Amino acid sequence: MDTKQQTYLLTLNIRRYDPETKHSWVQVYQIEAGRIQRFVDLFKIINKEKDPTLAWNSSCEHGQCGTCSVKVNGKPLLACELLVQNAVADFNTTTFSIEPLDISPVVRDLIIDVEKAYERLDAVKPYIIEPKPLNRNNKAHSISPKRLDQYINATRCINCFCCASACISSHRNFLGPNAMLAAIIRMMDPRETNKKDRKKMIYSEQGVYRCHTSRACSFVCPKEIDVAHFIALAKAGHFQDNNK
């Protein structure tokens, strides 16, 4: 790659979908872009200069909300984090195929039905079911330093669903890596008293035993969470005790 190059002529093959006609097709856009423009910037350029009908999603555009997840040349990622120069270097091409994540029905173009995607996450109850009360002698919930490190690492998850899209588990009942991570987080949480229900879910036929430990999920996680490792620890029974 010519590192002095300031702009690139890119070919973007974008998967479109029109919900009115139910027609799906690939639309080709040629676009000149600067090195440090992000893929969300490319979508904005298309909307402004070429095609206002292209639909896509974003919100924070700082890699914190997970709204702009798409697949670029087959890899699920955040469009707000992908710089043109990195995409060209990593994929070794200036031609990119861009598709919506394949975890939920498409609403239009690159936008998927997020509510539907969240159904799998909601199934593990990713919140505290029965909070542990504090008493006079016990002014704070306690957690071991090792478990706290794991907890902080896991709670960096932004629910972008990239791992779910990359998951190679073919079992249709598997709730997916991010749902497993959300359940594991609450297993580690010293504020939670109800581990029973969640344990049932983690070790159910929708749970961790459907994972093949391929690590595809860890490979794509934009927060660099080793999701597969957490799932492997859960398989080995590590999170059953609150404070290990």
The residues of the shown chain that bind ligand SF4, judged by CB under 6 A, are: 66, 157-163, 166-169, 177-178, 181, 211-217, 221-223, 225, 227-228, 231
Q: Which residues pair with 32 in a beta bridge?
A: 9
What residues contact 159, with CB distance under 8 A and at least 6 apart?
66, 118, 121, 178
Q: How far is the CB of 222 from ligand SF4 (least distance, A)?
A: 6
What's the min distance (Å) between Cβ of 206 and ligand SF4?
12
Cβ nearer to ligand SF4, comparing 68 with 181: 181
Helix, coil or strand: residue 208:
helix
Residue 182: CB minimum distance to ligand SF4, A:
9
Our CB check for ligand SF4 shows the closer of 33 and 217 to be 217
Q: 45 or 233, CB closer to ligand SF4?
A: 233
Strands, E, within the chain: which ranges? Answer: 7-18, 23-34, 69-72, 75-78, 95-99, 106-108, 111-112
What is the nearest approach in angstroms of ligand SF4 to the Cβ of residue 171? 9
**Min dist. Cβ of residue 41 to ligand SF4 (A):** 21
Contact 155, 197 (CB under 8 A): no
Kindly tell me the number of DSSP H helices and DSSP E strands found in the chain.
9, 7
Q: Which one-letter amino acid corresponds to residue 98?
A: I
Closest to 230 measured CA to CA, from 190, 192, 195, 182: 182
Find the shortest distance in angstroms from Cβ 31 to ligand SF4: 27
Task: Tell the smallest beta-carbon distance from residue 228 to ligand SF4 (Å).
Answer: 4
Give bridge partners of residue 30 from the DSSP assignment.
11
Both tokens assigned to 183: 């359940």
- The β-bridge relationship of strands 95-99 and 7-18 is parallel
Of 81 and 90, CB closest to ligand SF4: 81
Q: Report the residue number, 37 or 165, with the smaller CB distance to ligand SF4.
A: 165
Quick one: 44 or 212, whose CB is closer to ligand SF4? Answer: 212
Question: Which among 163, 180, 148 is positioned nearest to 219, based on CA atoms?
Answer: 163
Structural element, H or E, at residue 99: strand 95-99
With respect to ligand SF4, which residue has the nearer C-beta, 37 or 178? 178
